[in-house]
Structure 1
């Protein structure tokens, strides 16, 4: 991210990924790492979009499927499917995406608020739309993809998993 002399953000650096045919971006500052898909351990009574948990270098991380979260059509995972490990508030969560395509810098001047019907995802989850040449990049608001109740459920799932699951 770059700032001008008065401290205003002039550009944002994004990790770009695909869900179906749409391209999405999240700020690189919220991304810890990107991993190949690993099979999560299922956790009983977790929300339907929670795939389970993974052990990432000794840390238990819940994994959510963004397609299930956003009610998008599900397809089989491929060799390009990835788990992006992100920070949502105080939570570390893995999100399953179809592919990570690039990291890019986007001038703040090329961002616009999301129009009401830009994608099949509710505008509540979106920060805006970025124009990259002739492409439109949908910027997700990671802090809003989980409700407070869902964050609490994930934290409880993670705590329960630490007590019961041995890797």
Structure 2
């Protein structure tokens, strides 16, 4: 089954988050840390879901609004989740709440339906049924398009 979520044995650990009435998850293997929000500096030319850049542990890290990213309103973030991507970059995801860690059986992970799964990079990697709700697993590596990473590299290196 192609879910895009790394698993260890029969289970996978997910950090369950909430934003604007929506619940989603991030594979624990992508999570560096959770933290209180820090000041951000706006970056011209960014998409609306990029709040700006924050200095986290000495590095300039883009901050993504999970509400706008998932098609809702801007979030009043109480926590940031710092994630690492497949290409060794970091991104902070601003969320309203963190519900905790949930381990799900590998068999409970479902592939994305054909409508959501295409050739383009996908924001979500898998579906999980959770307490009669559909839980979408975010892919850290696809939170920001390549063009945004390139623009951020230009701005932070100058």
Query: Does the alignment reach a TM-score above 0.5?
Result: yes
Distance in 2 (alpha carbons) for counterparts of 1:20 and 1:133: 18
Whole-Å Cα distance in 1 between the matches of residues 142 and 100 of structure 2?
23
TM-score (norm 2): 0.79
Specify whether residues 144 and 34 from structure 1 end up closer, same or farther in structure 2 by C-alpha distance, changes over 3 A only. Answer: same
Q: Find the counterpart in structure 2 of residue 19 from structure 1.
A: 19
Q: Is the 8 A contact 2:17 2:23 kept in 1?
A: yes
| Alpha-carbon distance in structure 2 between the residues aligned to 1:67 and 1:141 | 15
Contact 1:25–1:138 under 8 Å retained in 2 = yes
Query: 5+ unaligned residues in a row in structure 1: which ranges?
Result: 4-9, 161-167
> What does 1:14-163 correspond to in 2, within 5 Å?
14-75=14-75, 77=76, 81-88=78-85, 89-115=87-113, 124-160=122-158
RMSD: 2.5
Deviation, structure 1 residue 117: 7.6
- Distance in 1 between residues matched to 2:24 and 2:155, nearest whole Å: 27
Cα separation, 2, equivalents of 1:24 and 1:136: 8
What secondary structure is seen at the aligned counterpart in 1 of 2:122?
A: helix
- Cα deviation, residue 21, structure 1: 1.3
Larger radius of gyration: 1
Measured after TM superposition, the shift of residue 116 of structure 1 is 6.5
Which runs of 5 or more residues in structure 2 are unaligned? 1-6
Which residue matches 2:4?
none
Q: How far did 1:107 drift?
A: 0.6
Q: TM-score, normalised by structure 1?
A: 0.75
- Counterpart-to-counterpart distance in 2, 1:128 and 1:57: 30
Structure 1 residue 150 displacement after superposition: 1.9
| Aligned residue-pair number | 148
User: Aligned-pair distance for 1:52?
Assistant: 1.6
